[in-house]
Amino acid sequence: MNTSVHPTKCQSGIMLIDTLVYIAVFIVVFTLAIFGYNRFEEQSRRLRGVTEDIARTVNAGERWREDIRRASAEIQYNAETGELRIPHNSSYVVYRFSENQIQRKTTAQFVPLLKNVKVSLMEKMPRQHVTSWRWELELKTRGKNARLQPLFQFEAVAPNPL
């Protein structure tokens, strides 16, 4: 009677095959987990970028509305150049759409206010007793399969000229 503590050659071979199968399953599961994590991280980065774009656009829109409300004379819009001139006492604030960005000028030169802009339209909307201005913006989408189309619309009422 052979009662050895060591497993037989057959049992050792089966244990080796079991170990190799476990290693292969672990590699497959680990690889899938890495791909899932990378996809999650990429989508999180894209979402963070979209929310930052939205916040910047809303801030730019609020600044534009404030400039419209503070106008000291009639606002002028040149459709050919896409420039909106807003008089403020002795100076002007100028907005323009150029090279996929909104630029704002208060002194000597234009400063980028908003980048990655696809479309920008500003229009005067005369009403019965006031003059309203509308600014429609469309930003470029991030990525190929964007579910959110970044469209914005801002309205402001200019003070009545004296």
Range with the poorest average pLDDT among 10-14, 108-112, 146-150: 10-14
Residue 67 neighbours by CB distance under 10 Å: 22
Task: Give pTM, 2 decimals.
Answer: 0.75
For residue range 44-74, what is the model confidence (pLDDT) as tens digits?
A: 998 898 889 999 999 999 999 999 999 888 8
Mean pLDDT of 111-115: 90
What one-letter code names the amino acid at 93? V
What is the dihedral sign for C-alpha 51, 52, 55, 57?
Answer: negative
pLDDT given for residue 55 in this prediction: 94
Which residues 6+ apart lie within 8 Å of 46 measured at CB? 142, 143
Separation CA 29–CA 126 (nearest Å): 64
pLDDT band per the 50, 70, 90 thresholds, residue 5: low
Confidence check: pLDDT of 38 > 70: yes
Closest CA to 155 of 139, 138, 136, 141: 136
Which residues share a beta bridge with 88? Answer: 91
145 vs 18, higher pLDDT: 18
Separation CA 103–CA 95 (nearest Å): 6
6 vs 158, higher pLDDT: 158
E runs forming strands in 73-130: 76-78, 83-88, 91-98, 101-105, 110-115, 117-126
Separation CA 118–CA 57 (nearest Å): 13
Q: What percent of the chain has pLDDT over 90?
A: 46
Whole-Å CA distances, 82 to 72, 95, 97, 99, 133:
21, 8, 6, 12, 14
